[in-house]
Amino acid sequence: MTDYRQKYQTTPVIGWLMKDRGGMILLAILGLAIILVPAGNLLVPKDSLFHVPTWALGLLGKYLCYALLALSVDLIWGFCGILSLGHGAFFALGGYAMGMHLMRQIGDRGVYGNPLLPDFMVFLNWSELPWYWYGFDMFPFAIVMAMFVPGLLAFVFGYLTFRSRVTGVYLSIITQAMTYALLLAFFRNDMGFGGNNGLTDFKDLLGFNLQTDGMRSSLFVASALALAVCYIVARGITRSRLGKVLIAIRDAESRVRFTGYRVEHYKLFVFTVSAVMAGIAGALYVPQVGIINPGEFAPAASIEVVIWVAVGGRGTLYGAVLGAFLVNYAKTYFTGVLPELWLFFLGGLFIAVTLLLPKGIIGAVPTFGSPDRQSVFVTWRKRLNDRRSRQGGSA
């Protein structure tokens, strides 16, 4: 039996951060990006080689939000064995919470000039603001709701499923059904969330115009800081005694249950934390892209997040961040050059990673792979040597 006490030792915060080589590199890169990217946009002249254009600033900010979403999925999939195909729902709910705040900030500057009702409600002949829109004119309330609503949904959903001991592919299907049900619900105009058009035409945030370079730089910094903080929280969970139990649940849930642990409580906690992280990512995403619509609930979007984690390397946290950046950069490139081939490329990439790099890109690098796992290149070399020795013996 695996000795989890030796395999995953708990150390003080500074200690496990210093031992986390990949995490230290990630945090260092984020620290440099927080300083250099906004400075390159605001301070460097536009004709300079080192100038960061506004479109690139917004694109990088969007990638950071995707990386935070991938981090939340890796926390439950890589360390607890919960494969969620509906995490896009938590991301979208956080985005809608922020979108509702931004819509309330428009006031009488909308097309119809109504100081209380958003334009789509005026168009649909709504006479008053729905009760669930109250409070969203306050930024702190919107931030709390962006975390509370996804967390509450994850808690209720997780309580019902984990208590019933739903696991494996059945859990994945149920999470996919959950996000699809929300997709259909938010498409309805009578739900009060803009229907298929969603929420858009945002003006400002905290009194600052969203279209200015200064505001875009601030959102980029906020996204990078959120990713760094959530990474430290996730790493703290996985390095703690709680994290050792989660890893044991991932590897042998029945054994952990037989030893007296309430497995559903541990899974429920980490699932809820992961949903809160996804909600934060959605709240930061919406002001940078300028729209939130039911398409974010699409099951295909949640499946794509799983591919990001698989490509980077699940069970590492920083691998999920790497995968999110690489796959989304490839998406940006291919959808501009060969848009009709992007889905084929994405499917081929997932198949190739599954067959050739089962531990992801990070797992293929000996320096960053888990100390108890061999590099994929070492594995290939051993297989090749074994095959040669068998062929030599048969000859």
Query: Is the pLDDT higher at 223 or at 120?
Result: 223
Per-residue pLDDT band for 387 (boundaries 50, 70, 90) equals: low
Say if CB 203 and CB 105 are below 8 A apart.
Answer: yes
C-alpha distances out from residue 80 to 37, 129, 214, 285, Å: 35, 42, 40, 26
| H/E run at residue 360 | helix 360-363
Q: What pLDDT is recorded for position 127?
A: 85
Domain assignment present for residue 244? The answer is yes
The pLDDT mean for the chain works out to 86
Contact, 112 vs 123, CB < 8 A? Answer: yes
| In a domain? residue 158 | yes
* Segment 367-383, tens digit of pLDDT: 554 444 444 445 545 66
E strand map for the chain:
199-200, 204-205, 208-209, 291-292
User: Is residue 149 in some structural domain?
Assistant: yes
Between 101-105, 259-263, 348-352, the lowest mean confidence (pLDDT) is in 348-352
* Cα distance between residue 252 and residue 131, in whole Å: 46
Range of the domain at 124: 4-319
**pLDDT score of 371:** 42
Q: Determine the Cα–Cα distance for residues 347 and 66; give it in Å rounded to an integer.
A: 19
CA 72 to chain centre: 5
Predicted local confidence at residue 185, as pLDDT: 93
Task: Give the relative orientation of helices 318-337 and 54-80 as an angle to the nearest 10 degrees.
Answer: 130
Taking 90 as the threshold, does the pLDDT of residue 22 lie above it?
Answer: no
Evaluate whether residue 328 is within a structural domain.
Answer: no
Encoding tokens for residue 371? 């100390």
pLDDT band at 123 (very low <50, low <70, confident <90, very high): confident
Residue 327 forms part of a structural domain: no
Based on the number of CB atoms within 10 Å of its own CB, is 295 exposed (0-12), middle (13-18) or buried (19 or more)?
A: middle
Overall residue count recorded for the chain in this entry: 395
Q: What is the pLDDT of residue 384?
A: 63
- pLDDT of res. 109: 85
User: Parallel, antiparallel, or unpaired: how do β-strands 204-205 and 208-209 relate?
Assistant: antiparallel
* Distance of alpha carbon 354 from alpha carbon 92, whole angstroms: 28
What is d(CA 293, CA 321) in angstroms, rounded to the nearest whole number? 24
Phi, psi of 44 (to 5 degrees): -85, 135
The residue written with tokens 């949903």 in the block is 275
For residue 359, is it within any domain?
no
Q: What is the spatial distance between Cα 308 and Cα 318, in angstroms, rounded to a whole number? A: 11
pLDDT at 232 over 60: yes
Q: Which two tokens stand for residue 13?
A: 């915060």
Query: Is there a domain that residue 364 lies in?
Result: no
How many folded domains does the chain comprise? Answer: 1
CB of 161 closer than 8 Å to CB of 176:
no
Residue at 61 is within a domain: yes
